[in-house]
Amino acid sequence: MKTTSSTERQRASLEELWMSRKNNKLYNTSYPLSPDDWKKYRRAGELDFSGVRQLAFYIHIPFCRHLCPFCEYKRTTTPSKEIQQRYLSGLETDVKAFIDKYPDVELSGFDIGGGTPTALSTANFGRLMDLYKHTVQRLHLSAQYEPSIEGTFQTLTTEKTRMITAAGFRRVSLGIQSANKLVQQSNGRINPDSAFMLQTINTLRTEGVEKINIDLMYGLKGQDLPHLQNDLDLIEILSPEHVTLYEFRPNLLGVNENMSKEELYRSYDFLYKGLTALGYNSRFGQNTFSKNSTDKGLSSYLRNRMFHFMPYKGFGIAAQSMSPQGISYNIGKEGNRLDTELLLSNTFPAADCYLLPRHELLSKYLAVSAYGGFISFEVANRILKDDFGKVFDAEIRFCLDRGLMDRHKDRLRITPEGFKHYGATFSLFYKTTEQ
């Protein structure tokens, strides 16, 4: 009688686990799967950055002229100039207090996002740029430092563009999400016409912006391949240096999927082939595309966060921070509405701080690194303080044998086959090292 070996049983167990997750909407680039998963790790207070030599900053501006219903980030319609001023005062207080406490850190990146930072009034936007300039003047900057700021075509004026470049930004990210008017209407999105967009981009370049990123989404309601071709046609017209693709994540909004996993894969595959045909560089399975083959299409904040899992400090309502010990979220993260009372706070401290064990930090890294389509052994070893290859030997062999991933130097890379259900593939490594 033939017996089943432990290796065969392990492989069968991994196959069953992968199959059970491959069509589950929870498994994407978000982690934890549920906020309750981290309840037992919650602690009072702020994260400690003592001993951290290099980190990045992020400022959250939660204001938008128009609220897109598919957006998962904390934001509200742009309030009065007075409320904007109060919010900026709180940011200034928090940034100064952090630098006073950690004056010797080296800044590896600095992104300003939202929301829509350029939705601020002209005067208040100038104040935001002054806050940025005063901050970087007080700190050492890393050799690869490259800041970035988000905006929309409707709110980015020539005067604000000049403020951006005067502050030292050379990269601007603009959201389009979809170029098709029917898809925009079905998803509550409003975009100007292509002529207006092109004029804005020409102004950005004239004023000194060297890298322009365009965000596109797939998986939206009513979106099909001809609509995605409209996106590619617009990218050809605008010719940005970078393009970033985002998959619609319904679980974060508590809504049903618009597309199956197979349809999402076909959408990404269509956009990937179209963008590479237009001369953009990328590897199948990653979400960033760049005209320059040596440029990953990201600011240094996102490069360090996605690829190296380096610490970062977030300022503003609902902003996330990460230290080597855990992750925190500032006040305002909970709930669907952003109350005016929160905007008027004099400070935006952490409301949820989680001191995480190594296996949870590793899982967070894996979810974020899925955007890049790979796992770095060096980073995983550093997080685990153990040999990732040995701890997850069975999972690695399963992925390699099944063709879900390949091994290239220091990396496990997602393959086209693995990307069809990338969430199930990456989540195989969520297994705790303590069980």
Q: What is the 3-state secondary structure (H, E, C) of 314-343?
A: EECCCCEEEECCEEEEECCCCCCCCCHHHH
1 pLDDT higher than 60: no
pLDDT > 80? residue 415: yes
Asked whether residue 434 carries a pLDDT value surpassing 80, the answer given is no
- Range in 67-76, 191-200, 237-246, 279-288 the model is least confident about: 67-76
Mean pLDDT over all residues of the chain?
Answer: 94
- Side chain identity, residue 308: H
Rounded Cα distance between 371 and 369, Å, is 5
Predicted local distance difference test score (pLDDT) of residue 433? 45
Query: Average pLDDT, stretch 62-66?
Result: 94
CB 355 within 8 A of CB 41: yes
Can you give the residue ranges of every domain in the chain? 6-30+358-364+374-430, 54-307
Output 254 or 125, whichever has higher pLDDT.
125
pLDDT value at 4 more than 70: no
Query: What type of residue sits at position 259?
Result: M
Residue 293 has pLDDT above 50, yes or no: yes
pLDDT tens for each residue of 330-349: 999 876 567 788 889 999 99
* DSSP state letter for 279: T
Encoded amino acid at 435, one letter: Q
% of the chain with per-residue pLDDT over 70: 97
What's the pLDDT at 74? Answer: 85
Mean pLDDT for 91-115 is 97
H/E stretch holding 39 reads: none
Q: What is the mean pLDDT of residues 177-203?
A: 96
Secondary element (H or E) of residue 132: helix 122-137
CATH of 54-307, one of 3.20.20.70, 3.40.50.720, 3.40.640.10, 3.40.50.150: 3.20.20.70
Q: Decide which of 165 and 258 is more confident.
A: 165
Position 224, amino acid: D
Supply the pTM of this predicted model.
0.95
Whole-number Å distance between alpha carbons of 72 and 236:
28
The percentage of residues in the chain with a pLDDT greater than 90, rounded to a whole number, is 89
pLDDT at 435: 39
Distance from C-alpha of 37 to C-alpha of 24, rounded to nearest angstrom: 17
Per-residue model confidence (pLDDT) at position 353? 97
Q: Residues near 368 by Cβ (< 8 Å), separated by ≥ 6?
A: 29, 31, 305, 306, 309
State yes or no: pLDDT of 248 exceeds 80. yes
pLDDT at 76 over 80: yes
83-87, 90-94, 162-166, 250-254: least confidently modelled range: 250-254
Per-residue pLDDT reduced to its tens digit, 199-238: 999 999 999 999 999 999 999 999 999 999 999 999 999 9
Spacing of C-alpha 370 from chain mean position:
11
- For residue 393, the one-letter residue type is D
